[in-house]
């Protein structure tokens, strides 16, 4: 799920032109790429931890390092402030907090990484949802001096709601509690007691000091009682290839590919990104909503024909028959179709200053499809602190989470979010401002 508003370009690119580059399926599906986010309360050390990862793994360019050193000197810091390697906005540096989602990229010999440094302050929870929407793993930082607090519970709940498969709880600033095992054990017990109410299957705990570098890249000599791996070693070795839905083939069509060239005069393909499952040449497929069936003639990536296509590859699929297919349609298997419905229940994170209004009309964007909708009813609002359901609530305000019922103007082709994140989510857009006001995770059809 992406919470960014999508627009379609007037000029459709020609996927048959490879622009002199060599393409292979490995270029599009790289299981050695890990997307993870950091989240936690203000001053828990998220930006410092990322800075330490980048610094100790030697992933910082010299000019970036010099800029951070100069900025640290101008601020009067005693040592180089590693957080400055990620806090890019002037307001962030002045306040010492992360506001926007800062993306950073680095690699080790074992894996490539995309980091989303998410804001910790409660008023920027919506930014955290944006960073979490595509993550394979989440790092939840806890200040060893303060333990599990409200923001910790909020972020853990959001990670569970967005079904991030892997969770790493980093008990940071262990140097400020004399590397106490007793403090670490209590924090771990408190978090496990709270997380037991969620559907989180993989939780790893790491005691560390981002400032001093303990257990970040290298094992710490200050905590001999900890027998686990360092944080970087865990990030390099965590198994993520089985996280995607490879069972249910779903291909939302983004555009019809007609190159209009002499080389590909009669080419008619359907471009888009494989949402889930596996497609192969010769497979029998069905196009929704028409229900017309055909077989896959070819699968092309950058002008190179492939035997198979799987998520998250962007491909062009040709069918053996001429079928009326356009943007927003979906190609799937005849014996494995998504659910189809106009009345849908979903968990919603509200992301706008203007509260959600029952009965108001909005636009929703789901995969490559767009429809208008009306919010029919609000079932409850979640209290993040207690996980209590407030069934008397009538609106959602900024950063609040609740269960809503929607009535769509046309059927959606979807799967429950717990089964497939790509087809089980949509964004809500205000029709007047065109701003994204909510992110929704589909539960199922309205009873």
CATH of the domain at 105: 3.40.50.300
Average pLDDT for 364-376: 95
Average pLDDT for 161-184: 94
Q: Which of 12-21, 123-132, 138-147, 172-181 is the least confident region?
A: 12-21
The confidence score (pLDDT) of residue 95 equals 42
Same domain, 166 and 304: no
The structure's pTM equals 0.79
Domain boundary among 332, 352, 381: 332
Quickly state the pLDDT bin for 388 (edges 50, 70, 90).
confident
Domain boundary among 180, 215, 237: 237
Among 110, 160, 129, which Cα is nearest to 37's?
129
Are 328 and 253 in contact by the 8 Å Cβ rule? The answer is yes
Domain boundary among 285, 313, 332: 332
pLDDT higher at 69 or 421: 421
Q: Is residue 20 part of a domain?
A: no
Q: Is residue 19 part of a domain?
A: no
Taking only the tens place, the pLDDT of each residue in 286-335 is 999 999 999 999 999 988 999 999 998 999 999 999 899 999 999 999 99
Same domain, 110 and 198: yes
Residue 261 pLDDT exceeds 70: no
Are 367 and 440 in contact by the 8 Å Cβ rule? The answer is no
Which burial class, exposed, middle or buried, applies to 58 when counting CB atoms under 10 A from its CB (0-12, 13-18, 19+)? exposed
State yes or no: cis peptide before 312, omega within 30 of 0.
Answer: yes
The confidence score (pLDDT) of residue 20 equals 30
Q: What percent of the chain is predicted at pLDDT more than 90?
A: 54
Residue 1 pLDDT exceeds 90: no
Residue 131 pLDDT exceeds 80: no
Residue 45 pLDDT exceeds 80: no
Residue 161 pLDDT exceeds 90: no
Quickly state the pLDDT bin for 27 (edges 50, 70, 90).
very low
Q: Is residue 7 part of a domain?
A: no
Quickly state the pLDDT bin for 4 (edges 50, 70, 90).
very low
Average pLDDT for 156-170: 90
Are 362 and 430 in contact by the 8 Å Cβ rule? The answer is yes
Taking only the tens place, the pLDDT of each residue in 216-245 is 988 999 999 999 999 999 999 999 877 888
Rounded to the nearest 10°, the torsion over CA 261, 266, 272, 275 is -150
Mean pLDDT for the chain overall:
82
Same domain, 208 and 62: yes
pLDDT higher at 155 or 348: 348
Same domain, 380 and 286: no
The confidence score (pLDDT) of residue 86 equals 56
Q: How far apart are CA 235 and CA 215, in angstroms?
A: 12
Residue 184 pLDDT exceeds 70: yes
Residue 160 pLDDT exceeds 70: yes
Q: Which domain holds residue 294?
A: 245-332
Residue 369 pLDDT exceeds 50: yes
Q: How far apart are CA 188 and CA 219, in angstroms?
A: 19
Q: How far apart are CA 143 and CA 126, in angstroms?
A: 22
- In the chain, the N- to C-terminal Cα span, in Å, equals 24
The confidence score (pLDDT) of residue 99 equals 40
Same domain, 127 and 223: yes
Same domain, 286 and 327: yes
The confidence score (pLDDT) of residue 29 equals 41
The confidence score (pLDDT) of residue 119 equals 64
Q: Is residue 205 part of a domain?
A: yes
Quickly state the pLDDT bin for 92 (edges 50, 70, 90).
very low
Residue 104 pLDDT exceeds 60: yes
The confidence score (pLDDT) of residue 102 equals 66
The confidence score (pLDDT) of residue 443 equals 94
Q: Is residue 286 part of a domain?
A: yes
**Residue 353, number of CB atoms within 10 A of its CB:** 9
Q: How far apart are CA 188 and CA 252, in angstroms?
A: 42
CATH number of the domain residue 307 falls in? 2.40.30.10
Q: Give the total number of structural domains in the chain.
A: 3
Q: What percent of the chain is predicted at pLDDT more than 70?
A: 79
Same domain, 58 and 205: yes
Which residue's entry shows tokens 């923001």? 151
pLDDT higher at 195 or 84: 195
Are 143 and 44 in contact by the 8 Å Cβ rule? The answer is yes
Q: Is residue 44 part of a domain?
A: yes
Q: Tell me the two tokens of residue 120.
A: 């910790």
Q: Is residue 18 part of a domain?
A: no
Same domain, 193 and 321: no
The confidence score (pLDDT) of residue 14 equals 36
Which burial class, exposed, middle or buried, applies to 253 when counting CB atoms under 10 A from its CB (0-12, 13-18, 19+)? buried
Same domain, 310 and 378: no
Residue 100 pLDDT exceeds 70: no
Same domain, 110 and 255: no
Same domain, 166 and 117: yes
Q: Is residue 301 part of a domain?
A: yes
Same domain, 266 and 354: no
Residue 208 pLDDT exceeds 80: yes
């Amino acid at each position: 799920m992406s919470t960014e508003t999508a627009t379609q370009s007037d000029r459709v690119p020609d996927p048959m032109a490879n622009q002199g580059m060599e393409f292979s399926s490995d270029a599009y599906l790289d299981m050695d790429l890990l997307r993870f986010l950091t989240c936690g309360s203000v001053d828990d050390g998220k930006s410092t931890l990322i800075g330490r990862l980048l610094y100790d793994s030697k992933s910082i360019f010299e000019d970036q390092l010099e800029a951070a050193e100069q900025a640290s000197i101008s601020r009067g810091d005693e040592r180089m402030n590693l957080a400055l390697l990620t806090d890019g906005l002037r307001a962030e540096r002045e306040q010492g907090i992360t506001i926007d989602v800062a993306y950073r990229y680095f690699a080790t010999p074992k894996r490539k990484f995309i980091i989303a440094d998410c804001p910790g302050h409660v008023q920027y929870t919506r930014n955290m949802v944006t960073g979490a929407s595509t993550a394979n793993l989440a790092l939840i930082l806890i200040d060893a001096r303060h333990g599990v607090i409200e923001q910790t519970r909020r972020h853990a709940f959001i990670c569970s709601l967005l079904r991030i498969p892997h969770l790493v709880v980093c008990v940071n600033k262990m140097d400020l509690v004399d590397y106490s095992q007793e403090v670490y054990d209590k924090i771990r017990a408190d978090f496990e007691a709270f997380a037991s109410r969620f559907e989180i299957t993989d939780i790893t705990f790491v005691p560390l000091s981002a400032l001093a570098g303990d257990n970040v890249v290298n094992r710490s000599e200050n905590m001999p009682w900890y027998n686990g791996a360092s944080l970087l070693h865990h990030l390099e070795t965590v198994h993520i290839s089985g996280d995607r839905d490879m069972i249910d083939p779903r291909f939302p069509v983004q555009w019809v590919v007609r190159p209009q060239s002499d080389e590909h005069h009669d080419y008619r393909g359907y471009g888009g990104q494989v949402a889930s499952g596996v497609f192969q040449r010769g497979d029998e497929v069905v196009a929704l909503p028409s229900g017309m069936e055909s077989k896959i003639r070819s699968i092309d990536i950058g002008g190179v024909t492939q035997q198979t296509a799987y998520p998250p590859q962007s491909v062009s699929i040709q069918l053996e028959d001429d079928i009326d297919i356009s943007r927003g349609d979906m190609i799937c298997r005849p014996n494995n179709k998504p659910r189809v419905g106009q009345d849908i229940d979903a968990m919603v994170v509200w992301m706008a200053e203007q509260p959600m209004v029952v009965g108001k009309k909005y636009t929703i964007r789901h995969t490559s499809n767009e429809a208008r909708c009306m919010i029919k009813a609000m079932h409850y609002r979640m209290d993040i602190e207690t996980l209590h359901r407030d069934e008397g609530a009538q609106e959602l305000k900024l950063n609040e989470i609740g269960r809503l019922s929607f009535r769509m103007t046309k059927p959606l082709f979807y799967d429950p979010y717990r089964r497939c994140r790509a087809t089980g989510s949509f964004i809500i857009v205000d029709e007047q401002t065109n701003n994204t006001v909510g992110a929704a995770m589909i539960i199922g059809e309205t009873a």
